[in-house]
Amino acid sequence: MDPAFSFDQLQLSKRNHGLLLEALRYPITPPGMHYTLVHYDVPALDAASWQLSVGGLVEEPFELSYDELVELPSVEATVTLECAGNGRSGITPDMHSVQWHDEAVATAVWKGTHLGALLERARVKSSAVEIVFSAPDRGFEDETEQSFARSLTVQQALGGDAILAYAMNGAPIPPQHGYPVRLIVPGWYGMASVKWLMSIVAVASPFRGHHQAIAYRLRQKPEEPGEPITRILPRALMVPPGIPTFFGRHRTIDLGGCLLEGRAWSGMGPIASVEVSADGGATWDEARVERELDSPWAWCRWTYLWRPETVGEYELRCRARDEAGNSQPDVATPNLGGYCNNAAQRVAVTVRARPGE
């Protein structure tokens, strides 16, 4: 039976929109089609008055204005970001959160300055174990007031490819994506890429904030500490072929060759292969994979020429495997938060006779 969703689930799911899957055809997601997840409200910030403070267990704490940040050596990174809750509706449709199906993903070109270089300037003390990144996005989780904050270990922060971004696709970052400055942690699920970044603090013990210690952990029971969510698991998605019904979005194509296309990505290594099944997972064929974007952190394109032989009902699936040996399951292992469900996409398709035949 179909799950039923509450008004509050619907409301959150409408605020936090995904990628229209037909937009998988674009290597860089066009403006406004990039998925967005806003925990509370988009804060009203202004680059002119924005200041980043870098402090805590560092030898040289400092503050930085937006103009000063933009003057630092810059780097560009083409990054596929995905929400850790992508696929949630397939494993925890009753959870009090955004009910993503499989559309919480997108790719953008971020321009900014290296986080590691900024931290070297501050000289993190050896007593520090983590770096905490905080935003002014405030709200309540149950009865407790929170603002969004996340941490990285000192090693992850200093040694990784994270950047403090101030431009997205050649323009200022739109408000809902983190204006004026967003931390971008390539290869990680989106929660690590803290929007509206205001402070960076080196701390002596592992950060216990809500979005680090409670949310974004893989747990089977509420009392478990759980495993922290970090890097993006592999996933392939296709542009649903043919044309949809308005309600239900069931697909119909005409009999004949149909070029399936999509994208595949992993935060754990380059994509090694994409496979397609047209018989609900009974048999799989290899798709052609193209590295269209010159970035280790961006999705690649795949295509597959599907030639259904008869009219009828089909179930298409696609799945990716990365070079680190991770592959997509047919069915994901559930977890309480509904995270990291990278089960292979399923698209039901009716193949009809060509009109006039």
Interface ranges with a copy of itself (CB under 8 A): 2-15, 17-18, 20, 22-23, 25-26, 30-34, 36, 38-42, 44, 89, 93, 96-97, 99-101, 103, 138-141, 145, 171, 174-177, 240, 243-249, 252
Q: Is the Cβ of residue 243 or residue 305 nearer to a copy of itself in the bound state?
A: 243
Q: Is the Cβ of residue 32 or residue 228 nearer to a copy of itself in the bound state?
A: 32
> Residue 73, exposed/middle/buried by CB under 10 A (0-12, 13-18, 19+)?
exposed
Taking the complex as a whole, how short is the minimal distance between the CB of residue 16 and a copy of itself, in angstroms? 8
Q: Is the Cβ of residue 57 or residue 299 nearer to a copy of itself in the bound state?
A: 299
Amino acid at site 311? V
Q: How far apart are CA 82 and CA 102, in angstroms?
A: 10
Strand (E) or helix (H) holding 258:
strand 258-265
Q: 3-state DSSP call for residue 195?
A: coil
Q: 3-state DSSP call for residue 210?
A: helix
CA distances from residue 289 to 154, 157, 333, 343 in whole angstroms, order as listed = 36, 32, 27, 20
Q: Is the Cβ of residue 42 or residue 255 nearer to a copy of itself in the bound state?
A: 42
Taking the complex as a whole, how short is the minimal distance between the CB of residue 117 and a copy of itself, in angstroms? 29
Q: 3-state DSSP call for residue 305?
A: strand
Taking the complex as a whole, how short is the minimal distance between the CB of residue 146 and a copy of itself, in angstroms? 8
Q: Is the Cβ of residue 20 or residue 204 nearer to a copy of itself in the bound state?
A: 20
DSSP label of 191: G
Decide if 310 contacts 357 (C-beta within 8 A): no
Decide if 133 contacts 152 (C-beta within 8 A): yes
Taking the complex as a whole, how short is the minimal distance between the CB of residue 99 and a copy of itself, in angstroms? 6
Q: Is the Cβ of residue 8 or residue 67 nearer to a copy of itself in the bound state?
A: 8
Taking the complex as a whole, how short is the minimal distance between the CB of residue 312 and a copy of itself, in angstroms? 17
Taking the complex as a whole, how short is the minimal distance between the CB of residue 13 and a copy of itself, in angstroms? 5
Best CA proximity match to 273, nearest among 287, 293, 259: 287
Taking the complex as a whole, how short is the minimal distance between the CB of residue 30 and a copy of itself, in angstroms? 5
Q: Which tokens go with 143?
A: 């009865």
Q: Which tokens go with 337?
A: 């938060």
Rg (CA), the chain: 21
Q: Is the Cβ of residue 16 or residue 273 nearer to a copy of itself in the bound state?
A: 16
Taking the complex as a whole, how short is the minimal distance between the CB of residue 23 and a copy of itself, in angstroms? 7
Which DSSP string do the residues of 178-227 spell out, in sequence order? TTT-EEE-TTB-GGGS-SS--EEEEESS----IIIIISSEE-SSTTS--E
Taking the complex as a whole, how short is the minimal distance between the CB of residue 290 and a copy of itself, in angstroms? 17
Q: Is the Cβ of residue 203 or residue 214 nearer to a copy of itself in the bound state?
A: 214
Q: Which tokens go with 317?
A: 């699936």
Q: Is the Cβ of residue 96 or residue 123 nearer to a copy of itself in the bound state?
A: 96
Q: Which spans in 309-354 are helix H?
A: none
